[in-house]
Amino acid sequence: MIPNAKAIKLIAIYMFICDIYESHLRHSCQRYSNNSNPVFTDQEIITIYLFCMHIEHRFRIKHIYEFTSDYLRSWFPQLPSYEAFDTRLNRLSEAFKLITKLLIESYRPSNCDIHISLLDSMPIITCSGKRNSKVARDITDKGFCSTKGIYYYGLKLHALGFRVPDKLPFPEQIQFTTASENDLNVFKQAWGKIENRTFFGDKIYYDTDYFHKRKAVKNSLMLTPVKAVKNQPENIKTFDKAYNDLFSTAVSKIRQPIEGLFNWLIEKTDIQRASKVRSTKGLMVYVFGRLAAAYLFLIFNP
């Protein structure tokens, strides 16, 4: 058994999943077989995963299953074996992706500044760069994380978030790419057509010519810390130092909350360490399931 407060949250999560299942999730979970209506439903699997991760902070599938078997058996009497549970869960990556999308779109705070966006990326590590990764090689590769100063195999999470005064930015869009993908290229492909917006990023987004054109065509501006010019004369560097330092500090201060957003995701879901994942489907459930679990708080604190 679980305390009444947690039981109420379990019911709330289940009702939310049931509400959106018919209109959105069913199409990504549809089965065309004799077992198209299993006694242990997809709604129950999704509810268990999100509840155990969001409320109980159990991040491994085995631990989620064991907790459910020990404490939630009366709620889910048709709970199958661990192997069947794991197999069924790995089919639901698209469902978790849709849940995250719905949560972000439906519960956006009213105090978001829709004219200012913060952007950055963080690594999702499946394997150390010193080893030869064998997991999900079709969607992962080797990259370098300058913040940590490490090479790694895995994915890269790119976040574009609306600025919220005195709070963490609220995601507008989240993209996943291979670890080696350049952040600037992702911006150009995914967000380069956004109009009437001021973006704050780090030095990786520095491209004067490209953003001058964006300013003229789309009225969008990218502000980054000042990047050193190669072979610049020392007298010019010294002359501009005071201005460059002040400007870089101001930009960094405004974009710092996006780093806080990543730290919050890591604290809530342990999303960065994916070394226990063993398949492409498992990795997709891992990243989208954790995002869904993190933003599930919006249901209880809209």
DSSP string spanning 243-262?
HHHHHHHHHHHHHHHHHHHH
Residue 294 and residue 291: Cα distance in Å, rounded? 5
Residue 297 and residue 11: Cα distance in Å, rounded? 14
Identify the pLDDT of residue 231: 67
Identify the pLDDT of residue 291: 96
Identify the pLDDT of residue 239: 65
Residue 237 and residue 214: Cα distance in Å, rounded? 27
Which residues is 176 bridged to in the sheet? 157
Identify the pLDDT of residue 243: 80
Identify the pLDDT of residue 213: 92
Residue 219 and residue 196: Cα distance in Å, rounded? 5
Residue 271 and residue 288: Cα distance in Å, rounded? 10
Identify the pLDDT of residue 235: 64
The pTM of the full predicted model, rounded to 2 decimals, is 0.90
Strands 150-163, 170-178: parallel, antiparallel or unpaired by DSSP?
Answer: antiparallel
> Residue 156 is inside which H or E element, if any?
strand 150-163
Q: How many CA atoms lie within 13 A of 25 on its CB side?
A: 24
Identify the pLDDT of residue 33: 59
User: Which residue in the block uniquely carries the two structure tokens 């078997």?
Assistant: 69
Tokens representing 201 are: 């990023």
Identify the pLDDT of residue 118: 97
Identify the pLDDT of residue 31: 61
Identify the pLDDT of residue 234: 67
pLDDT tens string for the chain (302 positions)?
799 999 999 999 999 999 998 888 887 776 655 666 788 999 999 999 999 999 999 999 999 999 999 999 999 999 999 999 999 999 899 999 999 999 999 889 889 999 999 999 999 999 998 888 888 999 999 999 988 899 999 999 999 999 999 999 999 999 999 999 999 999 999 999 999 999 999 999 989 899 999 999 999 999 999 887 666 666 666 767 788 889 999 999 999 999 999 999 999 999 999 999 989 999 999 999 999 999 998 887 75
Q: What is the DSSP letter of 173?
A: E
